[in-house]
Amino acid sequence: MARPHSVDTCLAELEANPDDDRVRERAALALTRAGRDLEACALLEDLVNLTAHDGPTLPCVCRRCLDPAISSAEAEDVRFVRRFVVHRGRVLFYWAPEALADDRGLLEGIRRRLGRRLARALDRRSA
Q: What's the closest the beta carbon of residue 10 comes to Zn ion, in angstroms?
A: 28
62: helix, coil or strand?
coil
Specify the residue, 55 or 89, whose C-beta has the smaller distance to Zn ion.
55
Q: Is position 73 an interface residue for Zn ion (rule: CB under 5 A)?
A: no
Specify the residue, 58 or 65, whose C-beta has the smaller distance to Zn ion.
65
Q: What letter does residue 51 receive in the DSSP assignment?
A: P
Specify the residue, 32 or 51, whose C-beta has the smaller distance to Zn ion.
51
Q: Is position 53 an interface residue for Zn ion (rule: CB under 5 A)?
A: yes
Q: What's the closest the beta carbon of residue 70 comes to Zn ion, in angstroms?
A: 12
Query: Per-residue DSSP letters for 91-104?
Result: EEEEEEEGGGTT-H
Residues touching Zn ion: how many (CB under 5 A)?
4
Instruction: Tell how strand 78-87 and strand 90-97 pair up.
Output: antiparallel
Distance, CA of 88 to CA of 67 (rounded, Å): 23
Q: Is position 57 an interface residue for Zn ion (rule: CB under 5 A)?
A: no
Polymer length in residues for the chain: 127
Q: Which of 50, 58, 65, 70 binds Zn ion (CB under 5 A)?
A: 65
Alpha-carbon distances, residue 19 vs 25, 43, 74 (angstroms): 11, 12, 34
Handedness of CA 99, 38, 58, 92 (dihedral sign): negative
Q: Which of these ranges, 3-11, 18-26, 38-46, 47-55, lies near Zn ion under the rule CB under 5 A?
A: 47-55
Q: Which of 7, 50, 58, 62 binds Zn ion (CB under 5 A)?
A: 62
